Amino acid sequence: MSPDSSPQPDPARTAPHWTDAHNHLQDRRLGESAPIIAAMKQAGIDRCVVNATRESDWPQVESLARAHPDFVWPAFGIHPWHAHTANTGWQQRLANLLESHPRASIGECGLDSWISAPSMAIQTSIFSEQLELAHQMDRPLTIHCLKAWGALFDALASTPTPRRFLMHSFGGSIETARRLIPLGAFFSFSGHFLHPRKAAQLEVFRQLPLDRVLLETDAPDMAPPAEFLTHPLPDHHHHPANLPAVGHALAEILGLPPRDLAALTHENTQCCFG
Ligand SMILES: [Zn+2]
C-alpha cells in the first residue's frame, strides 16, 4: 500500500471518550433529556452515573436508565437535603429498585452541616441505612459530604460499609482522603474547583493516587467559570456536555494528556461502579 492510500485516522475513533461520574440528568432545570443526551454524545461523552436525590425522582432516573441502558448508569438514593422527606418503607422500595437494576448504585446520599435543616440526627439515620443497604447488596454508593467530616467518619466506623464508594466533588483535605482510601473511597473532580477561590483543592487532587480520581459535572449544579462553559445554559446552570472542558483542565492540573485522563477516569469509574 502506498503512503497516499494509507487509511487516515477516524476523528470519531481517536477523540477522547469521557465519562461523567456524577450528574442529575433527571433534574427539571435541564429541560428535555433527549437534546441534552444528544449534545453529550456529540461532545464525546460515552457514559454517566445519574443520581436521584429523593424518592420522588427515582421514577425519572429509572426511566432514563431504561431508555438509555448503555449510556445511563442509575443511582437511587436520598440526598441529605431531602432526608426529612423519606416516607415509611423507603428502605424496602429502594432495595426492590436495586434488585431490578443490577447495574444501579446508591446515591446521592451523605451528610451536610452547611445546611441547618434537616437535622444532623435525621441525616445520619437516613445515610447510615443507605450505607448498610449498599453493604448488604454489595453496591457502590455516592457520598455528598459538606462540613461534616467527623460525622462521616463516625458513620463509616459504626456501620457496615460497601467495598467501594465515591466522594463526589471531593472538597476535603489530603489527610481526609488518606483516611478514606483504605475504606474504599474514590474521589471525583468537578468544574466548581476551577473557580480561583477553590485553587487549594487542585493541590489535593494533584496528591491523590491516580487510580482513585474520577471526573464529574454534578449538572445542573456546580458550574465551572464561564470560560469552561462550552454549552452555556440560562441561570448559570451547568450543562453536562461541559464535561470535556473540565476534563481538559484537570488533565493540565495533573500533567496528563487529555486522552490519557479521559481513559483513566473512564477506567476508574468502571472500577468504582462496574
Ligand atoms: Zn449531585
CA distance 15 to 2: 26
Among residues 17, 43, 15, which one has the least CA distance to residue 240?
43
Which residues have CB atoms below 5 A from the ion given as ligand 1? 108, 218
Residue 255: give its domain's CATH number.
3.20.20.140
51 Cα to the center of ligand 1, angstroms: 7
Q: What is the pLDDT of residues 60-89, one digit of tens each?
A: 999 999 999 999 999 999 999 999 999 999
Asked if residue 113 is part of any domain, the answer here is no
Average pLDDT, the chain: 94
Q: Tell me: pLDDT of 270 over 80.
A: yes
78 Cα to the center of ligand 1, angstroms: 11
Among residues 44, 40, 120, which one has the least CA distance to residue 80?
120
pTM of the model: 0.94
Asked if residue 80 is part of any domain, the answer here is no
Domain that holds residue 250: 164-274
Q: Tell me: pLDDT of 11 over 70.
A: no
Asked if residue 75 is part of any domain, the answer here is no
CA distance 243 to 218: 10
Asked if residue 112 is part of any domain, the answer here is no
The reported pLDDT for the residue numbered 7 is 53
Asked if residue 209 is part of any domain, the answer here is yes
Instruction: Specify whether the backbone of 184 is left (phi greater than 0), alpha (psi in -120 to 50) or beta.
Output: left
Asked if residue 234 is part of any domain, the answer here is yes
Q: What is the pLDDT of residues 179-218, one digit of tens each?
A: 999 999 999 999 999 999 999 999 999 999 999 999 999 9
Asked if residue 154 is part of any domain, the answer here is no
3 Cα to the center of ligand 1, angstroms: 50
218 Cα to the center of ligand 1, angstroms: 5
Contact 49, 23 (CB under 8 A): yes
Total count of domains within the chain: 1
The reported pLDDT for the residue numbered 13 is 54
The mean per-residue pLDDT over the stretch 123-143 comes to: 97
Which has more pLDDT, 139 or 274? 139
The CA–CA distances, whole Å, from 31 to 139, 219, 234, 239 equal 30, 12, 11, 10
Q: Tell me: pLDDT of 12 over 80.
A: no
CA distance 265 to 274: 13
The reported pLDDT for the residue numbered 3 is 44
Q: Tell me: pLDDT of 47 over 50.
A: yes
In percent, how much of the chain has pLDDT > 90?
A: 93
63 Cα to the center of ligand 1, angstroms: 19
Asked if residue 140 is part of any domain, the answer here is no
Among residues 169, 243, 252, which one has the least CA distance to residue 213?
169
48 Cα to the center of ligand 1, angstroms: 12
Q: What is the pLDDT of residues 253-269, one digit of tens each?
A: 999 999 999 999 999 99
